[in-house]
Structure 1
Amino acid sequence: MTQNKITALLAEDEETLAQIIKESLETRNFKVLHCHNGQEAMDTFYKVKPDVLILDVMMPIKDGYSVALEIRKTNKHIPIIFLTAKSQTQDVIEGFKSGGNDYLKKPFSMEELIVRIHALLNREEIASEDTIFAIGQYNFSRTKQELVFQNTIQKLTNRESELLHCLYQNKNRIIERSIILNLLWGNEDFFTTRSMDVFITKLRKKLDQDGSIEIINIRNQGYKLLCP
C-alpha cells in the first residue's frame, strides 16, 4: 500500500468541498472515487473494494451512518472516516457505533484528513507485516519500535515511534502542530505541547548520525522532517 496508489471512496454531496478533497488527495498519491449520495457509495464500494471510505454524514438517499452499518455487515476491517458539521457528543458516539473508525468535524484541514487516513491504513498494515521505512541512512521499524543505523540499534518508546512515523508520513512537508497533538495525545493543551517538544528533541538526538536528516520547527505552524 505504501508503493501503490491508495483508493479512497469519497461520499460527499457538497460539490465544492468534494472537489477540494478529491484534488488534494490526488496530489498525495490517492485514487479518489467521488460519490454524490449514500446509495451511489454503496454500489461503488461493492464494485471497487477501496482501501478507505470517507463518508459525509448528511447525504441524500442514504446517510453516512446507514452506509457504514450496511458495509460493516460484510466488511469489518476497511477504515471508515466520517465528515460532518455536527459536533454534539451523541453524534460522535453514533458515528463510532455505526462502524466508523474516525470522525472529522467540518471545517477541517486537508493535512489532518491525510494524516488520519494514513494512521488508519497503517494500523491495518502493521498487524500483518513489519514495514521498514528508510529515513536517510536509518531503517525505522514501527512494529519493533527500533531505529537502526549501520549495526547500531536504538530502541524507541511507543510515543517516539508513533511521532516519528507521523513525521515520516509527511516528510519534507509541514505537519501542523495541532494535528500531531490531537492525533497522538488527544488534545493540544500546554502540557501536551511541552511534552511533544521533549519528544521532538529526543528524536533529533537519535537521528543525529545522519547529517541529511533534520526535524525543523516552523514557527506558529508545526514541524517538518527533512530527509532524502
Structure 2
Amino acid sequence: MVGIAENLKLNDRLHLDVQYETLIKDGIILSLSKIEFRILYCLTMNRNRIVSFDKLIDFAWKWSSTVTRRELYVYITRLRKKLDDNLKIICVRNRGYMMTE
C-alpha cells in the first residue's frame, strides 16, 4: 500500500501495521486474517462514523456478492476479542458498524 502510513495508532495500546497487516497490542504482534485486517482498516479509517454493512463487505471481500451479514458478524466478533476494552466496534441497528473509544 504505497503512500499509506505503515502504523495507524488505534489507541495507546493498539497499533495497526498496514505493511504487514497485523495488529500490535502492547508490543505483541497479533496476526489477523486478510478479512479481519480489511474490516479493521476500514473501520479505523472511518473512526466514529458508521460504515454500512455493504461497504464493509465490499471492502473486505473485494466485491464478493455471496457474503452475508452473518459472516461479517463472525469476523467482527473475532476482532472484538483482539481489541482493547477501551476500543469498541459497535453495531448501529440496520445501518452498519462503527469503531469508537
TM-score range, shorter chain: 0.7 to 0.9
Which whole-Å CA distance do the structure 1 matches of 2:45 and 2:16 have between them? 12
Work out whether residues 174 and 218 of structure 1, in 8 Å CA contact, stay in contact via their aligned partners in 2. Answer: yes
Look up the match of 2:76.
200
Work out whether residues 142 and 162 of structure 1, in 8 Å CA contact, stay in contact via their aligned partners in 2. Answer: no
SS at match of 1:125: coil
Which 4+ stretches in 1 moved above 6 angstroms?
A: none
Work out whether residues 39 and 59 of structure 2, in 8 Å CA contact, stay in contact via their aligned partners in 1. Answer: no
Q: CA deviation at 1:206?
A: 0.4
Q: Does 1:181 align with 2:20?
A: no
Higher relative contact order (Cα pairs below 8 Å, separated by 6+ residues): 2
Look up the match of 2:3.
125
Seen in structure 2, the aligned counterparts of structure 1 residues 142 and 192 have a Cα distance that, compared at 3 Å, is farther
Which whole-Å CA distance do the structure 1 matches of 2:2 and 2:28 have between them? 29
Q: CA deviation at 1:188?
A: 5.1
Q: CA deviation at 1:199?
A: 0.8
Work out whether residues 132 and 141 of structure 1, in 8 Å CA contact, stay in contact via their aligned partners in 2. Answer: yes
Q: Does 1:220 align with 2:94?
A: yes
Which whole-Å CA distance do the structure 1 matches of 2:85 and 2:97 have between them? 18
Which whole-Å CA distance do the structure 2 matches of 1:188 and 1:172 have between them? 27
SS at match of 1:197: helix
Seen in structure 2, the aligned counterparts of structure 1 residues 187 and 158 have a Cα distance that, compared at 3 Å, is closer
- The one of 63, 85, 89 aligned to 1:211: 85
Q: Write out per-residue CA displacement over residues 38-68 of structure 1, whole angstroms, 9 at most, x where no aligned residue.
A: xxxxxxxxxxxxxxxxxxxxxxxxxxxxxxx
Mark the runs of 5 or more structure 1 residues left unpaired by the alignment.
1-122
Structure index of larger Rg: 1
Q: CA deviation at 1:160?
A: 0.9
Work out whether residues 218 and 224 of structure 1, in 8 Å CA contact, stay in contact via their aligned partners in 2. Answer: yes
Q: Write out per-residue CA displacement over residues 173-220 of structure 1, whole angstroms, 9 at most, x where no aligned residue.
A: 11111111123221455x43222111101110000xx32110000000
Work out whether residues 42 and 59 of structure 2, in 8 Å CA contact, stay in contact via their aligned partners in 1. Answer: no
Q: CA deviation at 1:168?
A: 0.3
- The amino acid of 1:214's aligned partner reads K
Q: Which has the higher helix share?
A: 1
Look up the match of 1:147.
23
Query: Where do 1:46-195 residues align within 5 Å?
Result: 123-126=1-4, 131-136=6-11, 137-185=13-61, 186-187=63-64, 189=66, 191-195=67-71
TM-score under structure 2 length normalisation: 0.85
- The amino acid of 2:94's aligned partner reads N
Which whole-Å CA distance do the structure 2 matches of 1:167 and 1:188 have between them? 20
Give the number of aligned pairs.
Answer: 99
